[in-house]
Amino acid sequence: MKYSLTLISILALLGAIHSQAGDVLPPRFNFNRYSAMVDKSPFAIATAGGLPEATPDFAKDLYVANAAHSPEGDLVTIASTSDQNFKKYLTTKEPVDGYGIANIEWSERVGATKVTISKDGNFAT
């Protein structure tokens, strides 16, 4: 009897605590109540009017496959990462299909030679 009375009082106490805890939490508000404030906020992020069209980059997918010194002039091979059939063998003497060598900065380290190529007045390194 003593144990059952203790058990009943503990259950009653837990039930009372549980019923009070449900009333403590406020109801969740809808975010629409803030929409008027967000629309007129001085801290709102301005939307961009539109990006300008990017000029086509002729050397976007190009890389220097080979660069060499020659008695006739310097030789550079350029290739494309997107088109496996694209290869141009450029010399310092004359342009090939509009591509030409503007400048070569030679380096003793492998892969450190910088080549500036030109096409139709545009330059890329």
pLDDT digits (tens, 9 = 90+) for 3-20: 777 878 887 777 767 655
**In 3-state terms, what secondary structure has residue 99?**
strand
What are 32-57's pLDDT values in tens digits?
888 888 777 777 666 656 666 655 67
Its pTM stands at 0.52
Quick one: tokens of 107? Answer: 């380096």
| C-beta separation of 66 from 77 below 8 A | yes
Q: Which pLDDT belongs to residue 60?
A: 86
Q: Which pLDDT belongs to residue 79?
A: 93
